[in-house]
Structure 1
């Protein structure tokens, strides 16, 4: 084997360990109207949160993504991600409408018996958060194996993140971010089965139930109001 071939083989092996190799269940992009309707503003300070999924058995990084809390709205950039569901509004790997419930679901869908989620959050100026939002919305859908290249590429373009270098490896990106002042960190662990689709399916069922209850409640309220009007 030539040196070049050996290097290529090592890189491909590393990418396999790095993750983002499972084909995402990519549905057609949401329409601009759906994206606009899903927009959610979080009242917390502008911030960027890096998610790093780590294999509990091999300790290899498996996926990178970021949540951006900009003044205009909060989104998750999930490049080449596999957390997709009917009730998630997504366009070109950007997930919209990131309410606290959706945020919790996203974290827990990745955390299971075989993976944990390292979560690093750093507050940023409002204009930096808006710039990050602009970059991810214009980035386009990301190819498989390139989740961390895309995530680190976005971060490296932001003011204050100039020391972030593009990398293929999730844990390397997490270590780079850990060196920045002001970063807070937590880890989410769960004992769910390895199949992530189970958590996604359960979320869909819960959402359908909530929607049904909401519609029933709205219908009941309308009936009450109608009865009061007749009286």
Structure 2
């Protein structure tokens, strides 16, 4: 019990300084989406096309339901309830929206998927939900802390840098990787406005 409380305290303190968001239970339950296929986690890394440096990272968790942990991210959608950087109801269309929002002429997106057991997916999801709101520029360290010590992910570094996490993720057994490029204009504010009204995302 003391160990659990210590972990919970550490996760809460790590998120100090960010603005909390807490969608009502009814909205979270109504949006629940279970994706077919094996349980898995997918790391999304946003890379600069100018110098290859990492700009952001998020984690798609496919377990008993599918959620996106987008720590310190600016991505959002009115149909997706959010609780402190965890977005619920992430259908395939919403995943496409997430990728489209980040991929543009100045940024590529690298997608890395690893199959995990239902128990591991549940543990990662529980940790992400317990982490709390993440301050700006803390995306990768938040992911590092959520994945720390999780079976199968013990070799990942504790890092603040998205690209370093991506490179370590590439060494995980069975990882499947793809790179998404897009020549959209650099300003992605319009993506939020257009996608928010897109009936295909319902």
Q: Which runs of 5+ in 2 are unaligned?
A: 1-17
Of the three residues 34, 37, 40, the one matched with 1:47 is 40
Quote the Cα distance in structure 2 between the aligned partners of 1:135 and 1:196.
30
Flag the structure with larger Rg: 1
TM-score by length of 2: 0.87
Contact 1:153 1:165 in 2 (8 A): no
Structure 1 residue 156 corresponds to structure 2 residue 148: yes
Shift of 1:200: 1.1
Aligned length: 185
- CA shift, 1:157, in A, is 3.1
Q: Secondary structure at the match of 1:133?
A: helix
Q: Provide TM-score, normalisation by structure 1.
A: 0.76
In the other structure, the counterpart of 2:165 is: 173
Give the whole-Å Cα distance in 1 for the aligned partners of 2:175 and 2:76: 28
1:174-211, CA deviations, whole angstroms, 9 ceiling, x for partnerless residues?
A: 1111111100100111111111211111101213x887
Q: Tell me by how many angstroms 1:124 deviates.
A: 0.5
Query: SS at the partner of 1:130?
Result: helix
**Quick one: which of 139, 142, 150 aligns to 1:147?**
139
Alpha-carbon RMSD across the aligned residues, in angstroms, is: 1.7
- Structure 1 runs of 4+ off > 4 angstroms? none
> 2:88 maps to which residue?
96
Aligned to 1:38: 31
Is residue 201 from structure 1 mapped to residue 193 from structure 2 by the alignment?
Answer: yes
* Higher relative contact order (CA closer than 8 Å, sequence separation 6+): 2
Structure 1 alignment gaps of length 5 or more: 1-23, 212-231
